[in-house]
Amino acid sequence: MPLSLFALMLTAPAAVVAPAEPVMPKPAVILAQTRRVADWQLANRTNWATMPAARKSVQEPRDWQQATFWVALTELANRDKAYARPLLELGRAEKWQLGNLAYHADDQLIGQAWMWAARSGAGKDVIAPTKAYFDNVLASRPTISLEFIPVAPGKGTSKCTDRWCWCDALFMAPPTLLQLAKATGDKRYADFAHAEFKATTDYLFDPAEQLYFRDSRFFDMRDARGRKLFWSRGNGWVMGGLVRMLQVMDKKDPKRPIYEKLFREMSAKLVTLQKADGYWPASLLDNDPGTPPESSGTAFFTYAFAWGVDSGLLDRRIYEPAALRGWHALQRAVQPDGMLGWVQQVGDRPESVSAKETQFYGSGAYLLAGTAMYDLSRRHTTR
């Protein structure tokens, strides 16, 4: 053997073996995984010790924290009728009401569960409180600024939340309004949703990064390395909201191309930000090694990618592997008892997270991801 070649063999680094791409689980496996998290959350729905950092408002089923789970449970009930019962029981107990705040998007999310109930045996009259709520909104439509000015130092609330001045709202309110427009045939609700969605996007969307700032406080905020702060779950709310809007909109709706374009643009950016371990970092531009897992944002992006591929909006070659990596990462976040861990707690920006932290909205995002992955797997097995 020539000496030069022998020397090269001694000094060359060992070949790096690329990790194998995860394999698509069978539909029954995905459904069982999804049921497991749903069953844990249902069994622990009043066990507040499992969510020690939760706000007191989490005890209110119509609040966004729980509502995310109940709305997601409708998707599981569409695939397993056994889950319809707790939803219908909850609606009756809550008298099909929305939240108590007259304009706040967080209090409007639960309406999606009630409209599902109307289509699933509860009767069309159950949407009457939702209709009355939004009729009041349309009759006295807020026109305040979208600038997020805290009501007091250190407080994360602002008077601007009577409108959609924070990106999370794009999951909570627009799909509810579009569903109401479809249920009633009243186009006013959809017109309002489209106008307010545009106002929020014009204000909070960064076209250079193809991501949403959480609210106006973050426009000039940077991390220690000078990177913009784009919150994973915040952008997850937007992606989840886009899916739920597109699911309702007619294929020929003249507004639909706007949302499809935004969905594809955000997806193209987000797929580049997924870490090698399958998770997305809590701060999306934080590509530092060793960032901890965060399951709520990851679940929303997995949901969006799986649905996007299944619906034909996203390129299967690029986004199906990303959805699979996300789904497999989420399985590692599920604790032995079925609790979804690594859920960042209630907040408005990237913060610390641990394996033992969970929340209703984390379980909800997981259920959305699971049902979308189930559909994708069923299509996968028939190809």
Query: Which residues participate in catalysis according to the annotation?
Result: 168
Residue 199 CA, distance from chain mean position: 21
- Give the DSSP per-residue string, 305-359: HHHHHHHTSS-HHHHHHHHHHHHHHHHHHB-TTS-B-----S-SS-----TT---
DSSP tag of 59: G
CB atoms inside a 10 Å sphere around CB 18: 6
In sequence order, which residues have a C-beta less than 8 Å from that of residue 222 and are 6 or more positions away? 228, 229
Contact between 75 and 367 (Cβ < 8 Å)? yes
List the one residue out of 367, 250, 263 whose CA is nearest residue 305.
Answer: 263
Residue for token pair 């976040």: 333
- For residue 236 the two structure tokens come to 């997850």
Alpha helix positions (H), the chain: 3-11, 27-43, 64-77, 84-93, 111-117, 128-139, 169-172, 174-184, 187-204, 232-248, 256-270, 295-311, 316-333, 360-382
List the one residue out of 81, 56, 80, 78 whose CA is nearest residue 66.
Answer: 56
Contact between 285 and 273 (Cβ < 8 Å)? yes
- Burial of 56 from C-beta contacts in 10 A (0-12 / 13-18 / 19+): exposed
Cα separations (Å) of 33 from 76, 178, 298, 353? Answer: 12, 30, 16, 22
**Amino acid symbol at 105:** A
Cα separations (Å) of 335 from 41, 83, 355? Answer: 12, 22, 8
CB atoms inside a 10 Å sphere around CB 251: 6
Instruction: Give the integer Cα–Cα distance in Å for 272 and 285.
Output: 10
DSSP tag of 19: P
